[in-house]
């Protein structure tokens, strides 16, 4: 009897510590955090102790790619596919009272839908930006809970979208909620912590897509003080909002540690695109719905660092698409290692499924991303991405090896667009070699016609493949 009692106690302890429980999944997606914009990625002045902690307890990637703007990266992250397959080839619908824009196709199977059928509780607190129509959105695609903004950005204290005449954008599901004077990043993290409190005893997926460090750069005051001696005003402003972002990441990590869940939680950290240099935005009209006067500045500071790379959000230069990325799972993955192989935002979904031992749902279309566990396990394993493809509006890029072709077509990418030929006068094309000491400063287009033709053919084949 005594032996039996001891066995029962052991079983209870074994279960309670989470050893046989399915791992939790937490995904942090920051907004407009550039290529090198964390201390662990090489920044000389940014204060990011919590992102650095993730790197120390996980795997840091130096050649990770997202997209050049918010919606396509977010679509790719939660579907594991090129955003064009879900119809996200241009700006999504933002205002729920307007029909302008597109919505991510409901036929896509998201990571929330895949984990929900495996018994996971699922939640998204933060920025959706994949279409605001009430017939679409997070709760239509596998998330049990959604609190946040449905469009691209807001003033963090009054929750108004600031472009054009403005509109209010804060929702619980599809129901507008009023919470004036509270700080939005704090609100979304409060909900995240509450969700962990309520689901600590069962497996969960918690997706936290931040709206910061995206403009307006409204950092916590104490974080602004940390940068008061930085001479460059853009570095001061951007540094403070990055540290604020890092602070809220730390609150979630601390909550996981409070319940001894950290070792059994997969954490992915990455950004949706490079840093923003949209420095000119000001309120353009009198009587703006937000209450701000005409001329009020709300644009980006222009801070952010890319090292030897050039470019920023909105371009297909490396500074626009190369992003910080970390995966940390202390209970299973190695700690404090760095990988230089190509990985993409599309890889996180299949990689998480592999870590969980879950097959791709039978009703889910084929992934464009790959399970990157072989890369994590062996630094000599080659990336499965032999080519990289990007498309947004009429802009596109294709990379093969060290060569990257960037183009602007005369017509935007859409489901029925005709490809523009190389000879079209409305098309601009540049060719770059990423292996050069100063990559992307030199255009090889005129001198490498065979490479241009090969990459162009790859691009045209890809367009035909992803067209909905």
- Domain ranges for the chain: 22-377, 387-466
User: What are the CA-CA distances from residue 128 to residues 199, 211, 394 (Å)?
Assistant: 22, 9, 24
The CATH number of domain 22-377 is 3.40.720.10: yes
Fold match flag (22-377 vs 387-466):
no
pTM listed for this prediction? 0.93
Total Cβ atoms within 10 A of residue 407: 22
Contacting residues for 158 by C-beta, under 8 A, at least 6 apart: 180, 181, 290, 291
Q: What are the pLDDT digits (tens) for 332-387? A: 999 999 999 999 999 999 999 999 999 998 888 999 999 999 999 999 999 999 99
Q: Could you tell me the maximum CA-CA distance found in the chain, to the nearest angstrom?
A: 87
pLDDT by residue for the chain (468 residues), tens digit each? 443 343 333 333 344 444 478 999 999 999 999 999 999 999 989 999 999 999 999 999 999 999 999 999 999 999 999 999 999 988 999 998 888 889 999 999 999 999 999 999 999 999 999 999 999 999 999 999 999 999 999 999 999 999 999 999 999 999 999 987 899 999 999 999 999 999 999 999 999 999 999 999 999 999 999 999 999 999 999 999 999 999 999 999 999 999 999 999 999 999 999 999 999 999 999 999 999 999 999 999 999 999 999 999 999 999 999 999 999 999 999 999 999 999 999 999 999 999 999 999 888 899 999 999 999 999 999 999 999 999 998 899 999 999 999 998 866 655 444 444 445 555 689 999 999 999 999 999 999 999 999 999 999 999 999 976
Question: How far apart are the C-alpha atoms of 438 and 450, rounded to whole Å?
Answer: 23
H-helix segments, 331-448: 348-356, 373-377
Q: Which CATH class is domain 387-466?
A: alpha beta
């Amino acid at each position: 009897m005594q032996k039996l009692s001891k066995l029962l106690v052991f079983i209870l302890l074994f279960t309670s510590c989470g050893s046989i429980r399915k791992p939790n999944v937490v995904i942090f997606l920051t907004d407009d955090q550039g290529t090198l914009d964390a201390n662990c990625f090489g920044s000389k002045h940014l204060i990011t102790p919590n992102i650095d902690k993730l790197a120390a307890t996980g795997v840091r990637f130096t050649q990770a790619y997202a997209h050049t703007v918010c919606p396509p990266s977010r679509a790719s992250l939660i579907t594991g596919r090129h955003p064009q397959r879900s119809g996200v080839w241009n700006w999504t619908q933002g205002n729920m009272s307007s029909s302008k824009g597109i919505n991510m196709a409901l036929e896509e199977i998201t990571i929330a839908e895949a984990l929900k059928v495996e018994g996971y509780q699922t939640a998204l607190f933060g920025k959706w930006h994949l279409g605001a129509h009430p017939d679409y959105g997070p709760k239509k695609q596998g998330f049990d809970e959604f609190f946040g903004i449905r469009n691209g950005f807001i003033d963090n204290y009054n929750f108004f979208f600031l472009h054009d005449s403005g509109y209010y954008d804060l929702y619980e599901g599809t129901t507008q909620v009023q919470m004036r004077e509270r700080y939005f990043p704090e609100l979304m993290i409060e909900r995240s912590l509450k969700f962990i409190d309520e689901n600590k005893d069962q497996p969960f997926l918690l997706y936290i897509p931040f709206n910061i460090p995206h403009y307006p750069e409204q950092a916590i005051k104490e974080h602004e003080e940390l940068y008061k001696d930085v001479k460059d005003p853009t570095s001061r402003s951007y540094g403070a909002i990055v540290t604020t972002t890092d602070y809220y990441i730390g609150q979630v990590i601390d909550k996981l540690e409070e319940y001894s869940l950290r070792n059994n939680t997969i954490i992915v950290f990455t950004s949706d695109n490079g840093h923003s240099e949209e420095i000119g935005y000001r309120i353009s009209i009198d009587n703006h719905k937000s209450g701000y006067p005409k001329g009020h500045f709300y644009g980006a500071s222009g801070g952010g660092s890319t090292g030897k790379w050039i470019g920023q959000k909105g371009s297909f230069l490396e500074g626009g698409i190369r992003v910080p990325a970390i995966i940390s799972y202390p209970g299973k993955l190695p700690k404090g290692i760095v990988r230089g192989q190509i990985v993409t935002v599309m890889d996180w979904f299949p990689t998480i499924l592999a870590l969980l031992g879950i097959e791709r749902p039978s009703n889910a279309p084929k992934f464009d991303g790959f399970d990157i566990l072989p890369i994590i396990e062996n630094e000599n394993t080659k990336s499965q991405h032999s080519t990289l493809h990007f498309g947004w509006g009429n802009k596109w890029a294709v990379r093969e090896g060290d060569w990257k072709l960037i183009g602007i077509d005369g017509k935007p990418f859409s489901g029925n667009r005709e490809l523009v030929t190389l000879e079209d006068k409305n098309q601009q094309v540049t060719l770059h070699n990423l292996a050069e000491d100063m990559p992307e400063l030199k255009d090889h287009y005129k001198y490498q016609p065979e490479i241009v033709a090969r990459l162009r053919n790859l691009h045209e084949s890809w367009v035909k493949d992803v067209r909905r």
